[in-house]
Structure 1
Amino acid sequence: MVATYIEASDGDWADVRAERMRRQRLVGEPFATPPDVVDLLGAVQAQEYVDAGWALAQRSAGEVTAADVGALVGSGELLRTHVLRPTWHFVRPADARWMLELTGPRVIRTMGSAWRATGLDDPAELTNVLDAVADALADGDHLTRKDLAERLEQRGVDTAKRISFITLRAELERVVISGAPQGKQQTFAAFDDRVPASAPLDHDEAVARLAGRYLLGHGPATPHDLSWWGGITVGDARRGFEACGAASFEREGLTYWGVGGFDSQARSTSGGDGLGSHLLPPYDEYLISYKNRQVVDASEDFVREPMEGIFFWGLATDDGRVVGGWKWPRPKRKADPVVLTLTMLVPTPADLRERFAHQADRFSRYLGQPVELTLEEPA
């Protein structure tokens, strides 16, 4: 599945932006800790590991660092695995099992060509491989992908050019999940060692739970948004909204759903910078968790055309609307500063530059490295 960015339509989206940012705690009172962020949002996309930690830090109280997030993954308070869609997410241990039971089979079906290309479509071969993976981790070890591949080879499993698909399938089949990092290397551990046992949910109950969690942390949203985010059908998403007690309202020809007292008739009075300015990481939940992105569109104010692929960069938002993109190539040495290049699509007055400089300073504290901000203004 590919989320689409659509052209803006006339309409007042200020109240929807404000409510989403409030629910995600990008404004207002922050979450107490990063695990609290993941608890309420249900899952947080973590394709880029360090950047995903920055998403948690921005929503948490205090000065959360990348090292803090790594410690939480190490202790198992946060888990990182393929769930919802064929990409990594942070999830809480209590949610990993039922979410994978719900979404894993659908992800497996959508990746049929990958399994055929790697021989993992053959039931006997798949059973042999998964049994070998379970055996390799049976003593409680946390292994890097390289170390796991070596143990599988010792057990007669060919890992050449397919170890990443083996670990992915093992995650989806609930055989492995993230272990404690070894330096900068991520590891795999036995699923049952890190995830508590729980009674299975039937399909409808799991869909209703997923829908309710999604709206609590992301609403208001449409069934198509939940279908994209959660890897379920649009019909299931709609039934999930109904089952969790959500209320619907119409906006610009679409049906949105919300929970917890959102007033669809209210209008934001926040003003031009009432929702603040943020440097959101690539794949941040504020953007990636919705198939329809018109709520955050600021193209009517763009002075330059967006660069190709900008919506896969880190995104700069002001008052909840996308006004630029940013990148930060990893420095080769720890002592070298991070050069953060912010490319603006709109004019940047002094007060807006100051707010983004403040965000860059906060990012520096998160990384534990100096950050040099370069701001590229539109011509």
Structure 2
Amino acid sequence: MGGGVRYIDVAERRARLALRHRLAGRARAGTPEEVADALVALHGTDPATVYLAVGARLADPAVTVGETERALYEDRNLVRMHGMRHTVFVFPTALTAVVHASTGLAVAARERASLLKHMATAGAPDAAWLKDVEESTLAALARRGQATAAELAQDEPRLREQFVYAAGKSYEGTHTVSTRLLRVLGVEGKVVRGRPLGSWTSSRFRWAVAPEHAELDTAGAQAKLLGRWLTACGPATEADLKWWTGWRVTEVRRALAAAGAEAVSLDGDTGYVAAGDAGPVPVPGEPWAALLPGLDPTAMGWQQRDWYLAPELRPRLFDGSGNVGPTVWWNGRVVGGWAQRPDGEIVWRLLDEDGIGRDARAAIDSEAQRLAAWLGTTRITPRFRTPLERELSKD
């Protein structure tokens, strides 16, 4: 590209990643809130990912579980809710209104329409009935503070009612009103996930009333979210932005313009950074290693990943649906994967040994020991199993 547009090479992209994703030693954070703010969003589909992603970036990983639970369930500085691509994430609470307006409203409208259509097809009660159940459910949740669907059904028995979905089709099933309604209320920003029933690795969550937030203009919210994400992950291409947000390309371009994003030149493509962020970044300092969990927001941050992940490594590190498993990083690139064995040992394997010497191996092994120490007796099995993770966990 010409016209004074700055070129950002792979080395600088990796330096930005090291510093802004809190992975280099000198960049590690002090609290889970700092980690979430730096990354914008922590993948929450697998509950363990949130804690593992935070722990990999804290200066003192021993405080990971207690401090993350404090942030999520006591201070409520972090919130688990639906966001981009209809996926569950953990966001800074201050960002929830932006996420809801920029990505949630369109999904919410589709989800409610789908539920009403399926209920009507099954001969279930109408929208007025559903609205009455919804209001009763939200009132019960407000009284309880946090509750499971079963507990809410004690206060609102109509939540237990069922209807047949796709009758006569090969995928016919029976849905309970509580399951579908709470999902709709979640994407509408009315309820969020609360404290789990079990430990921090449990996927059985209570529900809680969502924190109050202002209703924002969609276009303005999209520009703000995109600006925040570019600060954390720029430079990124239009394809990266469209994939991460789940927006149409016209929405991405409108948000880029509104946010004042600056174009830069990448290797054979055009990228964008946040306004005023096109200048060089400092060197991260000492070489760094990291063991990141499956679905980590860094590994999943871009659609175009060749600058940090060699294409030939993907079959071993991703499942069939495109979910990344646990990864080993060295100086800004993925070089292998890791797993936890039944006895708790953290094991890892290199898939790319280019430039990996004795110091790199020692640093990676130190991170493995660091992870094992704070996990202690906790056992982690990724929700989405990948070929290398399965292989390593059985060795």
TM range (shorter): 0.7 to 0.9
Aligned length: 351
Residue 90 of structure 1: SS of its match in structure 2? strand
Contact kept in structure 1, 2:263 and 2:270, CA below 8 Å: yes
Residue 18 of structure 1: SS of its match in structure 2? helix
Within 5 A, what are the aligned runs for 1:332-371? 337-347=343-353, 349-369=357-377
Q: Could you tell me which residue of structure 2 aligns to residue 213 of structure 1?
A: 228
Q: Could you tell me which residue of structure 2 aligns to residue 222 of structure 1?
A: 237
Q: Could you tell me which residue of structure 2 aligns to residue 103 of structure 1?
A: 103
Distance 2:281 2:65 in 1: 37
Distance 1:54 1:339 in 2: 15
Contact kept in structure 2, 1:142 and 1:188, CA below 8 Å: yes
Distance 1:210 1:285 in 2: 16
Deviation of the 1:84 alpha carbon = 1.8
Residue 256 of structure 1: SS of its match in structure 2? strand
Residue 38 of structure 1: SS of its match in structure 2? helix
1:176–1:269 distance in 2 versus 1, CA, 3 Å? closer
Distance 1:110 1:353 in 2: 49
Contact kept in structure 2, 1:46 and 1:80, CA below 8 Å: yes
Indicate the larger mover: 53-62 or 277-286. Answer: 53-62
1:328 to 333, 337, 340: 340
Give the gaps of 5 or more residues in structure 2.
Answer: 1-7, 164-173, 381-388
- Calculate the aligned-residue CA RMSD, in Å: 3.5
Deviation of the 1:374 alpha carbon = 12
Contact kept in structure 1, 2:318 and 2:325, CA below 8 Å: no
1:13–1:116 distance in 2 versus 1, CA, 3 Å? farther
Within 5 A, what are the aligned runs for 1:1-379? 12-27=9-24, 28-63=26-61, 64-75=63-74, 76-108=76-108, 115=115, 119=119, 123-124=127-128, 126-153=130-157, 157-158=161-162, 161-162=175-176, 163-184=178-199, 185-191=204-210, 195-198=211-214, 200-259=215-274, 262-263=277-278, 275-299=287-311, 306=316, 309=319, 312-328=324-340, 337-347=343-353, 349-369=357-377
Residue 328 of structure 2: SS of its match in structure 1? strand
Q: Could you tell me which residue of structure 1 aligns to residue 168 of structure 2?
A: none
Q: Deviations over 1:121-148 (max 9, x none)?
A: 9644642443243133131421134433
Contact kept in structure 1, 2:15 and 2:281, CA below 8 Å: no
Deviation of the 1:87 alpha carbon = 1.8
Distance 1:282 1:292 in 2: 18
Given the two structures, how large is their TM-score scaled by the length of structure 1? 0.79
Distance 1:342 1:73 in 2: 30
Distance 1:56 1:237 in 2: 29
Q: Deviations over 1:81-132 (max 9, x none)?
A: 1122222111122221331132113334666896478539964464244324
1:318–1:165 distance in 2 versus 1, CA, 3 Å? farther
Given the two structures, how large is their TM-score scaled by the length of structure 2? 0.76
Distance 1:307 1:99 in 2: 29
